[in-house]
Amino acid sequence: MKLTSSAFADGAMIPAQYTGVAQDISPPLAWTEVPEGTQAFALICDDPDAPSRAQPRPEGPWVHWVIYNLPATAQQLPEAVTRQSELGQPVEAVQGKNDFDAPDNIGYRGPMPPEGSGPHRYFFKLYALDAPLDLSASDADKESLLAAMQGHVLAEAQWMGQFERK
């Protein structure tokens, strides 16, 4: 399975409009070469460099996006997915909690690392699943999503972007 974005190259700097210092909208993502038997997709975006590469968080990467139960027919996430738990057209899915404070803890929140902390890496990880997940949006965070996906992952793909506030 392959994951791509038309907004930035893999490993490149993430354009400002997809960060917390500008429009803070989700970037467009697309995927191909989906394995047979895929019934749903899930995606996690996180920053392992928070608050800095030299001093990562003991709790693990900072989570920017949790979205799951994208239908097997989905081939992309458009730019600027709305920030609500239950999504309808054009994106049918459920969004879980990120690591930001409420009310900003649902849906995508873009990079906004501390100034002077150096470049941060943001990993968009897509999972092809053999079944939709029975996971309540109110309980869905990265840890519960990963637990619910155990034994259901058919394939994984990732795309990485970077961002730095000087």
Would you say residue 136 lies in a domain?
A: yes
Would you say residue 130 lies in a domain?
A: yes
The pLDDT of residue 138 is above 90: no
User: Does the N-terminal peptide bond of residue 132 adopt cis geometry, omega within 30 degrees of 0?
Assistant: no
CB atoms within 10 A of CB 56: 15
Would you say residue 165 lies in a domain?
A: no
Would you say residue 56 lies in a domain?
A: yes
Domain count across the chain: 1
Amino acid at 71: P
Would you say residue 20 lies in a domain?
A: yes
Q: What are the start-end ranges of the E strands in the chain? A: 2-4, 29-32, 40-47, 62-71, 76-77, 86-87, 93-95, 120-129, 153-163
How confident is the model at residue 58, as a pLDDT? 83
* Burial category of 77 from C-beta neighbours within 10 Å (exposed 0-12, middle 13-18, buried 19 and up): buried
Q: How much is the CA Rg of the chain, to the nearest whole Å?
A: 15
What would the mean pLDDT of 134-163 be, rounded to a whole number? 96
What would the mean pLDDT of 139-153 be, rounded to a whole number? 96
Residue 27's domain comprises 2-159
Query: What mean pLDDT value characterizes the chain?
Result: 95
Using CA atoms, how far apart are residues 126 and 4, in angstroms rounded to an integer? 10
Coil/strand/helix, residue 75: coil
The pLDDT of residue 137 is above 90: no
Would you say residue 164 lies in a domain?
A: no
H-helix segments, the chain: 142-149
